[in-house]
Each structure stands twice: as structure tokens, then as C-alpha cells.
Structure 1
Amino acid sequence: MNDHHDEYDAADLLDDLINAEPACDSTMAVLFTGSDDETDEERWTREATAKAVCQTRCPARAACLSYALALEPEEGVWAGYTAEELREVRPLLSFVAGHRADEVA
């Protein structure tokens, strides 16, 4: 990793995310994380709805992606990707985590 990344940690990435004014907020948490008792069909529908919020109207998507890549979440929808999708594409997107969102967008 480069020196820039070492100086730029998850707290900084979270600040970037908040400052980018995401389309989601804490009142929408269940949309992005779901519940333990949802069926696969309910999860797929919920995830599609959450992804649509990210993909169609979120000005913080690049910042959210950088934050998610740093966190390596186990579940949820982040920047229009499920945690599973993030794990699959992480090798292709890992360069994003080392840059500020305004350098990526």
C-alpha cells in the first residue's frame, strides 16, 4: 500500500461518505441490511430496491464504495453492491480504497 492510504483510514472515509450527502440515512437501515427472518425472495427484492437507491440517485456512491472496500462488510448493500458482490469484485476495485472519493468520482 502507498503512504497516502496509510494516512487515510476508515474514519476519514466515513467522513467523506457523510459529507457527500448520501441518498440513504439511518432510517433506511433495514432496506440496506434486511432482517434475519426474510426469505430469499424478500432479500432479492429488498436488495434490488436498495441498489436502485444507490445507482439512480446517490451523490455519495464513490465515497460509499471506498468506505465499503475498507470495511469489507459481511452483509448489506453498499454503493449499489451486495457484500457478496463486493467480495467478488474487490480485486478489481481495490485501487479505489486508497484514494479519496473526490479523486475517483
Structure 2
Amino acid sequence: MSKGIVTEYPEICIFCGRQAEAEHHLIFGTAGRELSERDGLKIPVCNNCHNMGQKLCRIHENPMAERLSKMLGQAIWEKEWITANSQQEPRKAREAFRKRYGRSYL
């Protein structure tokens, strides 16, 4: 698994602590997944927490978990943007995210 910007432990499922077997892209969908990969917006997950567990215990096909995933991805992206663009106003990060990903989840 390649390293994302969310955690320093890519081998551990971020939810349950088991061995990670997959990566979950925090912003997903047709174009979102590719951008998410480039931006490091992914988290290590076990298959159970990703898409094979019970509906309320996994990310995919769980509307609330999917929504929170995208919100987390945007918040982390904006934090990174603000850090990299310290001369800019922090609120411009939201505009930059919208421009890159096509919408805001926050």
C-alpha cells in the first residue's frame, strides 16, 4: 500500500486495528478516486470495515459512513492546502477544494 497523508500506520486498519487489507479513498467516484490517490487522501482498512462487513460496520453502501469519509477527506485536504499556502487566506482552501474536486462536502 502506498502512503497516504492521513495516518503514519498504513498497515493497520484505521477503524478496528486489524491488519489492513485495502485502501479506502476518502473522496471516491469516477474522478474523485484518482485525485484522492494523487493527493494521498486514503486510509488503510481491513476488508470487513471497507466493504465486506455488515452494512452498518463498513464504509461502502453505508450512506453516513460514505458522507463522513468525504468530509474527513476534504478537511484533511484543506488543512494541507493551508499549510502549503500560508500566504493565502485559510478560507480560500474551501474554494480550492471545490475547484479541484467539483464540490464541497463541508
TM-score by length of 2: 0.27
TM-score by length of 1: 0.27
Structure with the larger RCO, 1 or 2 (CA within 8 Å, 6+ apart):
1
